[in-house]
Structure formats: structure tokens, C-alpha cells
Amino acid sequence: MTNPVTLPDGTPVTARAGLASAVEVAAAVRSGTSSASELLEAHLARIEAADGALHAFNHVMADRARADAAAVDAAVAAGREPGPLAGVTVALKDNLCTRGVPTTCSSRILEGWTPPYDATVVERLRAAGAVLVGKTNLDEFAMGSSTENSAFGPTRNPWDPARVPGGSSGGSAAAVAAGLTAVALGSDTGGSIRQPAALCGVVGVKPTYGLVSRYGLVAFASSLDQIGPFAPTVADAAVVLEAIAGHDRRDSTSIPQPAPALSARLGEGVEGLRIGIVSELSGQGIEGFEPDVLARLHEAADALTSAGAKIDTVSVPSAVAGLSAYYMIAPAEASSNLARYDGVRYGLRREAPNTAAMMAASRTAGFGPEVKRRIMLGTYALSAGYAEAFYGRAQRIRTLMISEFARVYESFDLLICPTSPCVAFEFGAKADPLAMYLNDVCTIPSNLTGQPAISVPFGTDATGLPVGIQVMAPLLGEAAMFRAAAALEASGK
Amino acid sequence: MLTRQDVAKVAKLALLDLSDEELDRFTPQLAAVLEHARDLQSFDLDGVPPTHHPFPLVNVFRPDEVELADDVREEALAAAPAVEDHLFRVPPVLGEPA
């Protein structure tokens, strides 16, 4: 059985009793039954009590959060509209820029850096009445699936501190699972929101590429990166996504459309929806899927059938090559994006007699081993003589995968599979980099195709560790995807 | 097969000074990832164009207008390791200091 982290009174941090959802918080603050300041103090106290054991946060913004909360309470008192997230506490993955507040990417190379601007999502959350509580831990530059690559030490899984929370957005997932914040934001390049959401038993969403502005998200792999919410419930994830989505002229890849309406349609159910189980992402031809995880998948399919959906299995042959394509494309883009860390304009500098030596010394001292591996993998995949065999072929597999998914979506509205082949693993269990990469097999296809996907908690394995089910949708298919997620949640697993 | 010399060359291209111990450790790790990526060769990709970006947006333009407040320049320079006359200062680009 699991051995969750506990509060001083012995209550497991994972127990939800007494914790309001974001939707409930916003309603209570708006009506004046609760104050944003009071709710914030409860979260700050919980962070104080539990984050020593969890290390979900790199930095708690207590003073700024108090000012945010006071502003929300003042708006309510003055009869002004407090916004859809009035008083809702939000934790931000520490690769989202916050003006005047440290933004480290859990890397030595950015230790102590304070950005001169806010990310678009930060501006939008504040405008919606949210209270920003702090910056959460991650694998360095979002490269990893466990937070073990953080330069500041890993985050621990609230369900069992001997296990990883998943990654790279492990701090955000653990903070929500432990009730240290109502909701959180993460970024997802190959599964970095969905996999930790699954391993910590919360909801996590990777929206359609371009739905949420990337302005102010520190770049890892620009054609794959997307910001999205973590929340205890599907309805909470929907209100947060509604608040942060929509066109932003400061991100040239931003889709020129307003935010989709999701909350209002959650109750529409799945009657008549055609939902496919992707065989390649459910253990057919790929090893390492735990039997308990596959058992929960089949129960999820049964639950959707009971709710009126039509379920069938479907094959997407190129999905098995997604992993290899991803581990060429993402490092290639990273090797270019991380060229900016050179000790000249910001971040760590190691002095040397000339500029080239200063840059190499700074990069060598500032980057951890996984970041170095990815930069080298990407540099190699792009280098003369290898670019076509590796990077070029990977980009063409990406096209193949997009057309295969498009064909499948002619017959299906949504697709499902496990979010992760396994539940939360112990620290050090995947010390071999390739073994860690293989953990991303189910989440990577949505990044390569740009399509949205959500992870919903659905029961546990035999030991009580959470299992997540992933629902995937075609581009901009968030509304139906959220309805299916709500149906899975309502089935009570 | 990826060699230790290949890894050393790539590290130099990426401006990373790797120790002997790092070269020994990274070589088999990177070789294993490249070995796994051989499955990219098993798909028929004749006539399949590359995808650079998942959403069909091209040539996104907007007016080039200054929007930030003046003090952002000072904030940005404040984050730099070395500054002189409102410029980023670096060691000599060519050769050694006099």
C-alpha cells in the first residue's frame, strides 16, 4: 500500500476532504462567502507544512500572492467583476517568465535570473483574478520525466515520497495533488504535463499547439512546446484553459482564434461519440506496459461505453516510431534554442581569457548532464552527413504520423490509451537515459501532430498508486475531449 | 557506431568542455539512443515531405512597434554578468587580453 506524505496532524496530503475546487473557490470569493486572502493563507500554511518533504516549489511568492489576493478582495468589496478565477491559487512551472521573480528552469545557468517581463499566461491569469503562489520544480529546462534532472534536487510524489512525481512538470503536479495550490500551469513538449498528472493522480492538459501563447515560456523545442493546466478536476482544468487560451500577437505561432468554450459543454456527455483505443499505444508491439495500467484502460473503455460512446480498437502504425522521431526533433530544436545560454546577456558566467572560452566554460559549468546529452544529440542529428538520416527522416515520419492520425479521425471522434505505461516509479529506477525516454511513448504523438490530449485520473494499481487515462482529439477538438474526460471522471474510478 | 571521438567533436561544436569521465559515460548512452532511432529507417518515406511545424500558419506579420516601458532596458541590463556604457561586456573576442 502507498505511504503518502502527511501533514503535521497526520492527514495524508493527498486527501481531498476540505479542499475546495477552483470552480468552488471562484464562486465563493465572487459571492463574498470566502476571501481570497483567507484562502491564500490556508495554502501558504499548507506549503509551509508539507513542501519541506515534497520540494514541489523552487520559490514561493508569498508577498506578491498576498498583494494579488488583496486586490481580488478589494474588487469584490467594491462591486467590481473579480474575474473567472477570482481568488484561485495558481502555481507556475519555473520555466514561465515572471517579471522581477526568479525564473530558473531548475538550472544553475539561470540561477538568480529575474526576467524583465511576464509571460502572456501570467498576465492572463492575473487579469482573470488568479493568485500566483510560486514557481514549481522541473527537470532542468523541462528535459526529463521524473524531476531527477532538476539542479536543485527532485520533487517527491505526494502518494509515496520514495517515488518520482513524473516530469518534467513534476513540481506543478505534486503541488496540485498535495493541495498546496488549487491549480497549476506546466509545459508539455513530449508529455511533461500529462505524464506527471497521471503519476500524481490529477488532471493535466496539453492543448492544441498554438492555442495558448508561448510568449514568456523559456523555449525547449519550439515546434512541440505547449503550456497547459494541472487541476484536481476536469471542470477546473477547463476554466483555467479558458482563461489562458486565445490569440496573442506576441507569439507568431499563436492560432488566430478566441479561446474555446469548454466549461459550458462539459455536461453534454459522450452519447454517440466514436472513441478508438490506439493499439500501438496500449501495449501492442511496445513492451513495458504494466498489466494494472492496461486493466484500467479497458475499464475506462467500458465506462465510456456505458455512457453511450461507441468504442473500437484502431491501429496507427507510425505511432511506434514517434519516440525515435521525437528524440531527434526535440534535441535538435533544443540544441539551437539553448545556444543563447552563453554567459553574455544573462545567467551564469565563468570568466576566461577570451569570449569563446568564456562561453564554453559557462555552458559547461551551468548545464547538467541530461541537458548536455540532449544538446549533443541534437547537434549530432543536425550535423553534416547525418542531418538527412536523423533529423530529416524524423520530420518526414512526423508528416506520416499526421496523415495517419487524420485518416483515423475520419472514423473516430477521439482516441484513448494509457497516459504512461507505468505508475510512479522509484527514484533511480530509470537511470539509463533511453529507459527514461521510453516512458514517453504514449504522450509523444500528440506533440508531434500538434493535437490536444488530456490525462484523467482513473483508479489505481494494486498498491494504490494513481493511473492516468489519456484522451486524444484532432486539432482544436478540445470540447469533445473535455466531455469524454468529464465522463471518465464521473464514472467514479 | 558512434565513437568517443565523434562525441568529443560534437561537444566542441556545441561549446561544451567535457571531461574524460563525461566522454566515457555519454558515448554509450548517446549510441544507444541513436541505435534505437534506427527504426526511423524502416518506414517508406518516398515522396513524404518534412513537417517543420504542426499548424498550417505561414508568414505571420505584425507592425514592428515599441511596446515596452523604458525601464525594461535597465532591468534587462541588470541581469547581465558584465555591463559597460549600457552594453554587454565580454572578454576579447580574438586572441588574449593585452
CATH number of A22-267: 3.90.1300.10
- Known catalytic residues of A are 93, 168, 192
pLDDT for residue A102 is more than 70: yes
Contact between B30 and A373 using a beta-carbon 8 Å cutoff: yes
Averaged pLDDT, A408-421: 98
- Least trusted range by pLDDT, from A54-58, A239-243, B58-62: B58-62
Task: Suggest the residue from A120, A341, A354 to mutate for an interface test with chain B (most B CBs closer than 10 A).
Answer: A354
- Least trusted range by pLDDT, from A16-20, A260-264, A332-336, A343-347: A16-20
pLDDT for residue B33 is more than 90: yes
- What is the distance between the alpha carbons of residues A224 and B56, in angstroms, rounded to a whole number? 14
Nearest-CA distance from B11 to chain A in Å? 6
Residue A350, CA distances (Å) to A347, A356, B29 in order: 10, 11, 28
Nearest-CA distance from B42 to chain A in Å? 9
Contact between B26 and A376 using a beta-carbon 8 Å cutoff: yes
Residue B49, CA distances (Å) to A210, A326, B54, B55 in order: 22, 17, 13, 15
Q: Which residues of A touch B40 (CB under 8 A)?
A: 321, 324-325, 328, 389-390, 393-394, 397
Nearest to B37, CA basis, from A434, A195, A456, A250: A434
Given this model, what pLDDT does residue B60 score? 82
Instruction: Report ipTM for this prediction.
Output: 0.93
Residue A373, CA distances (Å) to A62, A90, A170, A379, B25 in order: 36, 32, 21, 10, 10
Given this model, what pLDDT does residue A132 score? 98
| Burial degree of A223 (CB within 10 A; 0-12, 13-18, 19+) | buried
- What is the distance between the alpha carbons of residues B23 and B10, in angstroms, rounded to a whole number? 11
Q: What is the pLDDT of residues A110-148, one digit of tens each?
A: 998 999 999 999 999 999 999 999 999 999 999 999 999
Q: In the numeric block, which cell numbers belong to residue A53?
A: 518533504
Please list the alpha-helical segments (H only) found in A191-280.
194-200, 234-244
- Least trusted range by pLDDT, from A287-296, A434-443, A445-454, B49-58: B49-58
Residue among A255, A346, A354 minimizing CB distance to B79: A346
Q: What is the mean pLDDT of chain A?
A: 96
In a 13 Å sphere around the CA of A132, the CA atoms on its Cβ side amount to 25
Question: Do the Cβ atoms of A352 and B4 come closer than 8 Å?
Answer: no
Averaged pLDDT, B1-26: 95
What are the counts of helices (DSSP H) followed by strands (DSSP E) for chain B?
Answer: 3, 2
Averaged pLDDT, A341-347: 96
A168 prior amide bond cis, ω within 30: yes
Judged by DSSP in three states, B14 sits in coil
Max alpha carbon distance in chain B (Å)?
59
CB-based contacts of A306, cutoff 8 Å, min separation 6 = A491
Please list the alpha-helical segments (H only) found in A162-233.
170-177, 194-200
Q: How many CB atoms lie within 10 A of CB B32?
A: 16
pLDDT band of residue A201 (cuts 50, 70, 90) is very high
Given this model, what pLDDT does residue A286 score? 78
Given this model, what pLDDT does residue A397 score? 95
CB-based contacts of A433, cutoff 8 Å, min separation 6 = A370, A373, B29, B32, B33
Q: What is the pLDDT of residues A31-70, one digit of tens each?
A: 999 999 999 999 999 999 999 999 999 999 999 999 999 9
Residue with the bigger pLDDT between A364 and A285: it is: A364
Given this model, what pLDDT does residue A162 score? 97
Given this model, what pLDDT does residue A206 score? 98
Bridge partners, A468 (sequence order): A457
Question: Do the Cβ atoms of A191 and A207 come closer than 8 Å?
Answer: no
Contact between A397 and B15 using a beta-carbon 8 Å cutoff: no
For chain A, domain boundaries: 22-267
Residue A273, CA distances (Å) to A298, A457, A469 in order: 17, 21, 17
Max alpha carbon distance in chain A (Å)?
70
CA angle (A437 as vertex; A163, B46 as ends), nearest 5: 160
pLDDT for residue B96 is more than 70: no
Return left, alpha or beta for A460; rule: phi > 0 is left, psi -120 to 50 is alpha, else beta: beta
Question: Do the Cβ atoms of A174 and A131 come closer than 8 Å?
Answer: no
Question: Which amino acid is it at A122?
Answer: V
- What is the distance between the alpha carbons of residues A485 and B82, in angstroms, rounded to a whole number? 51
pLDDT for residue A410 is more than 70: yes
Averaged pLDDT, A242-264: 95
- What is the distance between the alpha carbons of residues A71 and A30, in angstroms, rounded to a whole number? 13
- What is the distance between the alpha carbons of residues A100 and A98, in angstroms, rounded to a whole number? 6
Question: Which amino acid is it at A112?
Answer: G
Phi, psi angles (nearest 5°) of residue A467: -115, 140
Given this model, what pLDDT does residue A1 score? 66
Please list the alpha-helical segments (H only) found in A338-431.
355-366, 369-381, 393-411
Q: What is the pLDDT of residues A316-332, one digit of tens each?
A: 999 888 999 999 999 99
Contact between B39 and A324 using a beta-carbon 8 Å cutoff: yes
Q: What is the pLDDT of residues B66-80, one digit of tens each?
A: 876 667 888 889 999
Q: What is the pLDDT of residues A84-96, one digit of tens each?
A: 999 999 999 999 9
Contact between B50 and A399 using a beta-carbon 8 Å cutoff: yes
pLDDT band of residue B57 (cuts 50, 70, 90) is confident
Task: Suggest the residue from A215, A286, A345 to mutate for an interface test with chain B (most B CBs closer than 10 A).
Answer: A345
